[in-house]
Amino acid sequence: MSKKYHVTTTVNGDEYEFLCEAQQTLLDILRDELMLSGTKDGCGTGDCGACTVMLDGTMVCSCLVLAVETEGSRIETIEGMAKGENLHPLQRIFLELNGLQCGICTPGILIAAKALLERNPDPTETEIRYWLAGNLCRCTGYDKIIRSVQAAAKEMRGA
Amino acid sequence: MEGVRYEVPETLQAAVALLAGATGDARVLAGGTDVIVQMETDLIEPTLLVDVKKIKELRQIASENGGFRIGAAVPGMAIVNHAALCQAWPGVVDGVKLIGSIQIKGRASIGGNLCNASPAADSVPALIAAGAIVRIIGPNGVREVPVETVPVGPGKTSLAKGEIVVSFLLPPRPPHSSDAYQRFTPRTEMDIAVVGVGISLTLDDGGTCTAARVALGAVAPTVLLVKDAADALIGTRLDEAALDRLAKAASAACRPIDDKRGTKEFRIKIAGVLAKRTAQQALERARQSR
């Protein structure tokens, strides 16, 4: 019988408690225990970025974080991005400019793009492309993704 | 199946005691970007994970006698964002910048990069070129060794049971010193080095190289410190003839394998080409540094 660990974390401002085994990833717990399935399960090895979340303000692949490590930490997922009915500008502009096709990579890309714009409100195209290098789009819709991030950045700067 | 046990000690002594006392396969968990992948893909089945991220010695970057001490579990992004480190050791920072994505660097550490012991680890050639000294703690106390003595083969280190890499000391920089790390990969990001070259050098006031270290990654079972390549630079102004000798010495040191990323012949040739380019970048930086 594997030992269960009791973990308390904050996800999108709400406190959650859960039991997990040591080898379970944060991604497993988000999707299967907390029923926050907006974070996508892509490769499971940190290559694709579909499972990107913010952990204590740092962008990470939740497939490469053990849930047991997150005791006392602050997690932000795609579910916390819109404020009620109001989409974040990145979400709205991704819709307007077709910044997504199948949508599997979208939550991870939105989390990553938001982290970029908080750090650098006016990134160059090259900076956006390098920042998002860890987020793969299997539909290869990169050009519209980059344009959407640029348009959102412009709007968010009030330019 | 018996699950893995997780411990998160707050002191070095407690971590060492856990690892030294473990009966099965015990692993240090820092950023987890290698260990968790290896668990997920069933390459390893540890019985104990010792999370070292609550141990303060492993998590800080501090000035020490004019140099820097970097905790082994400091995440890559903290290194990349450290202005003084970027100024003093741009080559080491370049190596760290090339480790995976922003997400990976949010967790991955240089201690992990070293202990994973991949010959293609991006931070390791630059750390070896820098002459970094690793502090290791274990059941028999603390020892300090050069970085290049830690990896002994792919996935294998010289660490004994119960030992942990605590930190890396980057020495103080004389005037006109700098470093560089370059690698060859088909894709500029998110790729694994086909060849990596780290070079650190010091010039005198007239621009003659007085000290150099050259390290090559991904061309042998471990990252190589190549004395002949450094000797090709020392005493020169890194003119074309010196760079040609550097390239020859770098290529001569390679003992690569053929794999999907490159053939032996390609790696040997590229090691020389890349050594030249890396030396030129380090030279340019050293000239600009005070």
Give pLDDT tens digits for A86-123: 999 999 999 999 999 999 999 999 999 999 999 999 99
Residues A110 and A149 both lie in one domain = yes
Residue position matching structure tokens 């009620």: A84
At B3 the pLDDT is 85
Query: Residue A65 is part of a domain; what is its CATH number?
Result: 3.10.20.30
At A2 the pLDDT is 79
Contacts of B246 (CB under 8 A, 6+ apart): B214, B229, B232, B233, B272, B275, B276, B279
Return the number of other C-beta atoms located less than 10 Å from residue B219's C-beta. 28
In a domain, residue A27? The reply is yes
Residue B37 forms contact with A (CB below 8 Å): yes
Residue A130 forms contact with B (CB below 8 Å): yes
In a domain, residue A102? The reply is yes
Residue A73 forms contact with B (CB below 8 Å): no
State the Cα–Cα distance between residues A52 and A78, nearest whole angstrom. 9
Q: How far is A64 from chain B (nearest CA, A)?
A: 6
C-alpha neighbours within 13 Å on the C-beta side of residue B126: 26
Question: Could you report the per-residue pLDDT of A8-40, keeping only the tens digit for each?
Answer: 999 999 999 999 999 999 999 999 999 999 999
Domain boundary among A79, A101, A130: A79
- What angle (nearest 5°) sits at the alpha carbon of residue B142, between those of residues B136 and B147? 30
State the Cα–Cα distance between residues B27 and B44, nearest whole angstrom. 10
Q: How far is B205 from chain A (nearest CA, A)?
A: 37
Residues A57 and A109 both lie in one domain = no
Q: How far is A33 from chain B (nearest CA, A)?
A: 18
Residue B95 forms contact with A (CB below 8 Å): no
Query: Residue A125 is part of a domain; what is its CATH number?
Result: 1.10.150.120
Residues A102 and A70 both lie in one domain = no
Residues A14 and A75 both lie in one domain = yes
Q: Which of B37, B41, B189 sits opposite A130 (nearest CB)?
A: B189
Residue A126 forms contact with B (CB below 8 Å): no
Residue in chain A nearest B52 by alpha carbon = A69
Q: In chain A, which ranges are E strands?
A: 5-11, 14-20, 52-55, 58-61, 74-76
pLDDT tops 70 at residue A126: yes
State the Cα–Cα distance between residues B34 and B218, nearest whole angstrom. 17
Average pLDDT score, chain A? 97
Quote the tokens at residue A65.
């974080």
Residues A150 and A113 both lie in one domain = yes
Q: What is the ipTM of this complex?
A: 0.95
- Binned at pLDDT 50, 70 and 90, residue A1 comes out as low
Residues A60 and A106 both lie in one domain = no
Domain boundary among A56, A79, A102: A79
Residues A100 and A121 both lie in one domain = yes
| Closest to A38 (Cα-Cα) out of A55, A56, A53 | A53
Residues A64 and A46 both lie in one domain = yes
In a domain, residue A17? The reply is yes
Residue A128 forms contact with B (CB below 8 Å): no
In a domain, residue A84? The reply is no
Considering its fold, how many domains does chain A have in total? 2
State the Cα–Cα distance between residues B148 and B210, nearest whole angstrom. 22
Residue in chain B nearest A108 by alpha carbon = B103
Q: Which of B5, B29, B40 sits opposite A45 (nearest CB)?
A: B40
Domain boundary among A61, A79, A97: A79
Residues A8 and A66 both lie in one domain = yes
CB B59 within 8 A of CB B19: no
Residues A68 and A103 both lie in one domain = no
What residues of chain B score a pLDDT lower than 70? 1-2
State the Cα–Cα distance between residues B146 and A159, nearest whole angstrom. 52
Q: What's this model's pTM, rounded to 2 decimal places?
A: 0.95
At B1 the pLDDT is 46
At A61 the pLDDT is 98
Q: In B107-174, which ranges are E strands?
A: 133-138, 141-146, 151-153, 156-157, 164-170
Residue B40 forms contact with A (CB below 8 Å): yes
Range of the domain at A128: 89-157
